[in-house]
Amino acid sequence: MASGLIKRLGQMLTEDLDTVDDHRIDRQSRAEAGQRAKDCCRGDKVTMVGELRSVQTCSKASHTGVLAEFFDGSDTVMLKWLGRSRIPGIEPGRRITVTGRVATVDGMKVIYNPYYELHSTLE
């Protein structure tokens, strides 16, 4: 048992921080029983749990909306809210549940105007 603990500690100290973060997000998403981004296809209506990795906001004049990179530990899905210049609470690092229909644009999975639920920042 002690050797297993030492092995896990050694892995944690030498593993790439992005990989550790990916595993953490994956464990949390699986615990909440959301659908997996890697298993979703164009046309599927999905509910997924994960984190926002990046968020881009655009000016009201451009009317292009808010674009967020969502990651659930298995794959990335772009979330795009059209006609919005900003959405309170939609920020990098925020944990959310999203529901919507998957589209594909240039090979990338996208959900337009998803319903979303912000998770507590204390999790």
Q: Which domain holds residue 67?
A: 2-118
Q: Can you give the pLDDT at residue 95?
A: 92
d(CA 120, CA 123): 6
In a domain, 114, yes or no: yes
CATH code of the domain in which 76 resides? 2.40.50.140
Query: How many domains, in total, are found in the chain?
Result: 1
Position 52 in a domain: yes
Residue 123 lies in a domain: no
Question: Bridge partners of 104?
Answer: 109
Distance CA 58, CA 82 (A): 10
Per-residue pLDDT 10s for the chain (123 aa) are 555 666 666 665 555 555 555 565 556 655 566 788 899 999 999 999 999 999 998 766 556 789 999 998 889 999 999 988 889 999 999 999 999 999 999 999 999 999 999 988 655
The answer to whether residue 47 sits within a structural domain is yes
* Residue 86 falls inside a structural domain: yes
Is residue 9 one of the residues assigned to a domain?
yes
Distance (Å, whole) CA 52 – CA 70: 5
Q: What angle do CA 119, 121, 123 make, to 5 degrees?
A: 80
Q: Is residue 6 part of a domain?
A: yes
